[in-house]
Chain A
Amino acid sequence: MAHSQHLAAPVGGRLLNNATLVAGVLIAIMAAVLLARFIFGLGAVTHLNDGYPFGIWIVVDVVIGSAFACGGFSVAMLVYIFNRGEYHPLVRPALLASLFGYTLAGISVIIDLGRYVNFWHIYWPGYANINSVMFEVAVCITAYVAVMWIEFAPVFLEKFGLHDIRKKLDKALFVVVALGTLLPMMHQSSIGTLLVVMGTQVNPLWQTQMLPLIYLLTAISMGYGVVLFESCVAASGYRRKIETHLLDPMAKVMLGVLAAYLVVRFGDLLVRGALGEAFKPTFVALSFWVENFCFAAPFLLIGNAAARRNPAKLFLAGVAIMFGGVFLRLNGFLIGYDTGPGWNYFPSAPELLVTIGMFSIEVLGYIVITRTFPVLPREEAYIKAHA
C-alpha cells in the first residue's frame, strides 16, 4: 500500500449535480428567511427569547460549527507541531472544512447580532472590553479566519500559478501555522469559558472552572473525529480509496486525547461533587449520559487495531465523537442552561432552515472547491492530468 506521492489535485467532474442542486435550493430558502430577519427582526423568524437569548444560530452554527471546524487545527497540530508529516495529505481537506466552518460561524454571528452595524466596536479600543470572554472569542475567531485563509492561500495560488507570491508566503508560513494552532486553542477554550459568567444558571454538570480545558480537549478530539468522518464521506461520495493507513494511527491519537478528556471531565465532576446531578431523574441528566456515552463509544468501536482498519467503524467512531461534542455544547448552552423556570425554547422551522442553509453552503463549497482546486490527495486516476 505504498503511497509514494500524496500530491493534492482537483477531483474534477461536473459542478452541477443533484447534491449541489439541493444545496443551492436550501441556500436560497435560507436567503429568504434571512431577508425576513433583517426586515422584521429576530423574533419574526426565530423562537429566540430572553430566557434563551442564544439559539441554534449561536450554539449550533457558531459553538458547535467552529468545534466541527477544528479538523484543520487538529491535523495541522499533528503535522507541524508534533512533526507527524505522514498525515500531511489530510491537512488540506481538513483545513478546507475548517475554513468553511469558521467563516460561516462568523457570518452566523453577524446574522444573529441584534445591532450588527456596531459590530466593529469589538475591535475598537474605546469600546472593547477585555474582561469579556465574548470579546476574546470574537477577536480570536476573526484572527483565526484571517490566518486560515492565508494558510489555505497556497491552494489558490497554485491553481492560478502565482508561484512568486507562493514562495514568499512559504517563508513565513511557519508563523502562520503557529498562529493557526494557537488561536483555535485560545478561542475553543474560551467558548467554554463563555459559560462561566452565567454562573448558577448553568447546571453544575457543565459549570466548572475547568470549562476551558474541557472545551479545548473536546474540540481537538472532535477535530480528529471530523477528519475521520470527512475522509470516509469523501471516499464514499467521490468513490476514492480510503486512507485507512493514515486514519488508523490518527484514530489512536484521537483516543488518547479522548482518554485525557474523560479523566479531566470525570475527575472534575468528582472533585466538585457534582456527579449527583447526573443521577437525578431529569431530562438534563439523561442528556449528560447520552453525551458521555458518545464520548466513550469510540473506545468500544475502535479500541483494537483490527477494528481501526475497518473504515465503517472509523466512520462511526468519528460520528460518535462529533455527537459527544455536540451534546456537550448543547447541554452547556441550551439543555443544561436554565435562567429560571418558565422559559421554553425550541428552534423554529425558519431558524432550522437557516442552520441547514449554512450547512448547505459548507457542502456546496466543499464540493466546488475540491472539484476545482487541488485539495484532496491525488488519486492515480488523475495523476496523468497533472504529470
Chain B
Amino acid sequence: MANTSLLKLEDDDNIAAASKRLGMSRREFLQFCATMSATLGLPQGAEAAMATAVAAKKRPSVIWLHFQECTGCTESLLRAEHPTLEKLILDVISLDYHETLFAAAGHQAEDARKKAMAENKGKYVLVVEGAIPTRDGGIYCKVGGKTAIELTKECAADAAAVIAIGSCASWGGMPSTDPNPTGASGVAPVLGKPVVTIPGCPPNPYNFLSAVVHFLTFGALPAVDHLGRPKFAYSRLVHENCERRAHFDAGRFAMEFGDEGHRKGYCLYKLGCKGPETYANCPTILFGDAGGGTWPVGCGHPCIGCTEQGVGFAKPIHMVAKMKNIEPPLGYPRIVEEKGTGATLGAAAVLAAVAGLAAGAGTIVARNLGLSHRAEELERLEQTGKNPAPATTSGEKAGV
C-alpha cells in the first residue's frame, strides 16, 4: 500500500507477471485496477494499492453456492470483458467451488469444497447465489443431500466473509414473489446475521468484483448500509444520476411506449420507471458490462427496480414509483422567506434627523408660546383695567 503512483508500477515485475497471468497488457491491467478503484469511489492512490495487491497477494479462496436461482449472476460475471472474467475469477481469486464452472461433479466436487474449507479455515470468502427456501424445513433445494439452509450454515461458519450476490440471495428476489410457495429467503435471515449483499437481477459484475478486490486489498469488505449493500454502489437512487433526469425536472415525460416523448428520450417515470425508489449505480457504471453505454433506461425501458426489495418483482412494471427523497432539497424556498428590506442606516439616519428637527422645532415653538403666554398673563394682571396694548410680536425668534 506504500506505492501510490500507478505509473511507477509500469515496470514492476509483479505487475508484469499478474498482467501476463490475466492475459492482459500491463496498461490494460492498470486501467482495470483504476476502473475498479473508481467504482469503489476510493481516493487517488488506491488503484496502485489494488494493482499491487492483485499482483502480489495470495489469491483468496472463494466458495460459491447456488440455490434457488437462474445462474444469471454467474452468467453476467462471465460476460464481463474488462478483463474477461473467467480469467479474473480463476486468477485473481481461487475459485475452489462453483457448481456452474466446475469441471468436477458429484462427491468429487463436494470433497473439493470440504478441502478448501479446511485449508482456508477462517480465510475463505463465501458467495451465495440464489434464494434459500425455508418452508417445510428447506426441502425444496438440496445439493449433495443437504438442504440449502444446512449448506449455507455449514459454509458460513468458518468463512472470513459472506457475500450474497443477486437479489435472490440478498432478499429473496423473484423466488420470494407472492405467494412465495417455497418460503424463499435471503441469506441474512437464515444465518441470523447481516451479510454483504450485492442485489440486482443480475447485479453489475463490477459491484461484486470491486467488493472482492476491496477485501483483497484492505482485508475487509467495503462499508455497507443497513441492508448490507456496499455504499459505493447502492447509496444513490437510480433517479439521482439518471441521464434522463433533466427531462423529469422539466416535466417532459414519455406517456406511452413509442410516442413522441418516448422517441425523444423523455423521462420514463410515467411509464412506471422505478428509478426514483431504487438504489443502484446503474446510471453511472451502466448495467452488466454490456458495452455501448447501454442500460435499461438508456434503451427506453423503465427501470424495474430489480435491486430493491418490495419494488422489483413486487410492483407491476407500469405502476408509478413512489418517490424516495432521502434528503429534502434544501435549496427549495421555505414556506416563509425573509423578503423586502428593513431599515437601512441611511434611511434611519434621515428619519432620525427629521424626527430630531421636528421635535426640536416643536419644543422651541411650544416653549416660545408658553413664555409669551406667561408674559401676557403677567402683563394682564399688572395692567388690569387698562386698554390692551397694541398687539406686539411677543414670540421669540423661532422658525421662519
Chain A positions within 8 Å of B, measured between CB atoms, are: 1, 17-19, 47, 49-52, 232-233, 235-242, 309-316, 319, 340-349, 351-353, 356, 367, 379-381
Contact = CB atoms under 8 A, between A and B. Distances in A.
A344 B339 contact: yes
A356 B354 contact: yes
A202 B106 CA distance: 88
B339 A237 contact: no
Contact of B347 (A232, A238, A352): A352
Contacts of B392: 241
B362 interface: yes
Given A236-B395, A311-B372, A342 B366 contact: no
Contacts of B388: 1
A107 to B, nearest CB: 20
B400 A351 contact: no
Given A239-B395, A348-B341, 7 more contacts: A49-B339, A235-B369, A235-B395, A340-B336, A341-B336, A343-B340, A349-B347
A232 B364 CA distance: 12
B328 interface: no
Contacts of A52: 340
Interface of B: 336-344, 346-351, 354, 362, 365-370, 372-373, 388, 390-395, 397-400
B347 A348 contact: yes
Contacts, number: 110
A367 B337 CA distance: 48
20 contacts: A1-B388, A19-B399, A49-B339, A232-B365, A232-B369, A236-B368, A236-B399, A239-B395, A240-B391, A241-B392, A310-B373, A311-B370, A314-B369, A346-B343, A346-B348, A348-B346, A349-B344, A367-B400, A380-B391, A381-B391
A312 B395 contact: no
A239 B368 CA distance: 11
A331 B397 CA distance: 36
Nearest to A244: B373
Given A346-B347, A380-B391, A236 B369 contact: yes
Contacts of B368: 236
Contact of A348 (B339, B344, B373): B344
Contacts of B336: 340-342
A236 B354 contact: no
A354 B91 CA distance: 85
Given A352-B354, A380-B391, A236 B365 contact: yes
B369 A315 contact: yes
B347 A311 contact: no
